[in-house]
Structure 1
Amino acid sequence: MRKSWLPAYIALGLIWGCSFIFIELGLEFLTPFGVAFVRCSLGAITLLIVVRSRKIALPKDKSTWRKLWIVALLLNVVPGILFAFAQQYVTSVLAGIINATTPLMTMVFMLLLFREQKLKREQIIGLFIGAFGVMVVLGIWKGIGDNQLLGVAALLLAVSCYGYSFPYMTRNILPLVLKPEAAATVQLILAAITLLPLYLFDGIAEDNYQLNSLLAMLALGVLGSGFAYIWNFSIIAAAGGSIASTVTYVTPVVAVFVGWLFLGEQITWHEPVGAVFVILGAAITQGRFTSKVVGK
């Protein structure tokens, strides 16, 4: 009998959903560079301890490290900075909802990079529904202020990096057949090294080290950028990648709730309504509602 994946699934949905409020609190004493560096450094330390305890060897080939450095740029460095930068202008609620467009961005890049793949009707429908959902979330009919527009643009660019990373990894990382824990550890080490000069240049916003902000960054790094990888791997091993990917639909729900509960962020009616369309569009593009014929 396979180990139950539900506890890891719940933990992953909660921690990734709370990551946006952790970023918000981290910005009370760190700059966007600082937030990105601290979370990657703590995540790298956490995973180093895990791989050492499990006696998992890290890859030694230089070309492998170069490829994983590109993954680090796409999944950790650039999005880590952009999400923190954006949350200076938008709420954690909006950041959590925009993050749910990751499957849509992935589909776009898969179609751009893998030209042999034909665009299915349900994928076109899903992309349009998701795009409509984003416009509803933003309340596009009311207009967008300059600051909010800057934040939203940063969020969409960050999510685009996520979207591009998956086809890149499919082509360049999966054929290497690396241990997932080893790949994630190297990825976070390289991300932390890349971000270190930026942190030293401008990492601390002000000397205001409140306990809740410090704990938020500790949780973001150790749990959100460390154990989250392990939980994700365990879900994939126990339930498959299809089930694991559905956590994307849980995180915006958690983000909306915790942003309202703990930060007192106001939620307008169109944000949760738009989030439903975003999640629905993502689910359709992933074929969640496509009937499967068994035995054919």
Structure 2
Amino acid sequence: MLTLIWGCSFLFIKLGTDGFAPLYVSLGRMLFGTVVLLATLAVKRQRLPRAARTWGHLVVAAFLLNSLPFTLFAYAELRIPSTLAGICNATTPLWGMVLSLVALSDDRPTRRRFAGLGIGFLGVLTVLGAWRGFAGQDPAGTVMALVASASYAVGWIYVRRTLASTGDSHLSMSGAQLLLGTVQLAVVAPLFSPLPTSFPAVPLLAVLALGALGTGLAFLLQYGLVAEVGPTTATLTTYFLPVIATVAGVAVLGEELTWNTPVGAVIVLIGAALTQSKGPSVSRIRLRGAARPKTAGKEAGKARV
């Protein structure tokens, strides 16, 4: 269910941008998602965080995990197919691995994860048709989608370092984060895009589904899944997102699909899976017969949309 909702989010973004400016697609998404989470908080009689320090960190988290990537994906889908946006989203663990190499993450690089990084970006080049000189691709749109995916990786590392031990529930933190993201976009959107003058049905319903389902309900399902099966198993849903996004884009929007797109997507997912796996630390690969080294923790960058 979670995979289906997140995978279809790229379709909803594309439909939403047919009637609204990208900033308002993101704002509507945040607004409807916030309503779902705040309503759930009220039903469960939970409170939003109280500590000012927590709210300060959540401002940054909302920007990195919601406002920035949601908006970049919306702008990207004005220029690239939703299928390509979905595949770019799957590169988040690869960016997390890159960040671990520049000491922005506590995870230690391993041989297997290095291999995953190389394989993953080879997959990206395959998707983009590098041997054809990237012919037929929109560089700006692709870069925006990749930056959005990198923003998720940075955001999860930030959250893990600053908000892991606040004592507040996941629901409380998520509600506050989406609320702050909504405020951020409500301030910024009118400054860069004129207010909508009409509300066509299909784009409006797409934004409603994107927010209420793809953001609000998805948050609830994700945390419920983590509680039930654990975070490692729960992240397996991530690797099916490009499949759902591709099927939705081709079936509903009639987007063109060439052989290198699904093949490259599979290579990206293999690389991403390897960057999440554990293996011997690179710093000890020459120490034969030594005690088993500490393994790298699960990469914080979860591929979200």
Shift of 1:150: 0.3
Structure 1 counterpart SS, 2:254 = coil
The equivalent residue for 1:29 is 19
Structure 2 counterpart SS, 1:167 = helix
Of 121, 133, 141 in structure 2, the residue corresponding to residue 131 of structure 1 is 121
Shift of 1:199: 2.4
Structure 2 counterpart SS, 1:60 = coil
The equivalent residue for 1:20 is 10
Please list every run of 5 or more consecutive structure 1 residues that lacks an aligned counterpart in the other structure.
Answer: 1-10
The equivalent residue for 2:29 is 39
State how far apart, in whole Å, the 2-side matches of 1:178 and 1:125 are.
37
Shift of 1:57: 1.1
Shift of 1:105: 1.2
Structure 2 counterpart SS, 1:246 = helix
Alignment of 1:1-296 (within 5 A): 11-114=1-104, 117-144=107-134, 148-203=138-193, 207=197, 209-287=199-277
Deviations 1:66-101, CA, capped at 9 Å, x for gaps: 101111001111101100011111000000011011
Runs of 4+ in 1 over 6 A off after TM superposition: none
Structure 2 counterpart SS, 1:266 = coil
RMSD of equivalent CA atoms? 2.0
Deviations 1:134-166, CA, capped at 9 Å, x for gaps: 000001112236971000111111111101112
Structure 2 counterpart SS, 1:113 = coil
**Amino acid in structure 2 at the alignment position of 1:129:** I
State how far apart, in whole Å, the 1-side matches of 2:61 and 2:102 are.
18
Residues 174 and 29 of structure 1: CA distance in aligned 2, closer, same or farther (over 3 Å): same
Shift of 1:265: 0.2
Shift of 1:204: 5.6
State how far apart, in whole Å, the 1-side matches of 2:172 and 2:125 are.
39
The equivalent residue for 2:283 is none
Structure 2 counterpart SS, 1:30 = coil
Shift of 1:62: 1.2
Residues 250 and 205 of structure 1: CA distance in aligned 2, closer, same or farther (over 3 Å): farther
Structure 2 counterpart SS, 1:278 = helix
Shift of 1:240: 0.3
Shift of 1:203: 4.5
Please list every run of 5 or more consecutive structure 2 residues that lacks an aligned counterpart in the other structure.
Answer: 281-291, 293-305
Q: TM-score normalized by structure 2?
A: 0.87
Residues 145 and 33 of structure 1: CA distance in aligned 2, closer, same or farther (over 3 Å): farther
Shift of 1:248: 1.1
Residues 84 and 285 of structure 1: CA distance in aligned 2, closer, same or farther (over 3 Å): same
CA contact (8 A) 1:30 1:203 kept: no
Shift of 1:120: 0.6
**Amino acid in structure 1 at the alignment position of 2:273:** A
Q: TM-score normalized by structure 1?
A: 0.90
Q: Percent same amino acid among aligned pairs?
A: 37
Deviations 1:212-264, CA, capped at 9 Å, x for gaps: 22211111000111010100000000000001111111110000001000000
CA contact (8 A) 1:110 1:167 kept: no
Shift of 1:117: 4.4
CA contact (8 A) 1:30 1:205 kept: no
Shift of 1:289: 9.2
CA contact (8 A) 1:21 1:255 kept: yes
State how far apart, in whole Å, the 2-side matches of 1:89 and 1:34 are.
17
Question: Which is worse superposed, 87-96 or 140-149?
Answer: 140-149
**Amino acid in structure 1 at the alignment position of 2:28:** V
**Amino acid in structure 2 at the alignment position of 1:245:** T
**Amino acid in structure 2 at the alignment position of 1:250:** F
CA contact (8 A) 1:100 1:278 kept: yes
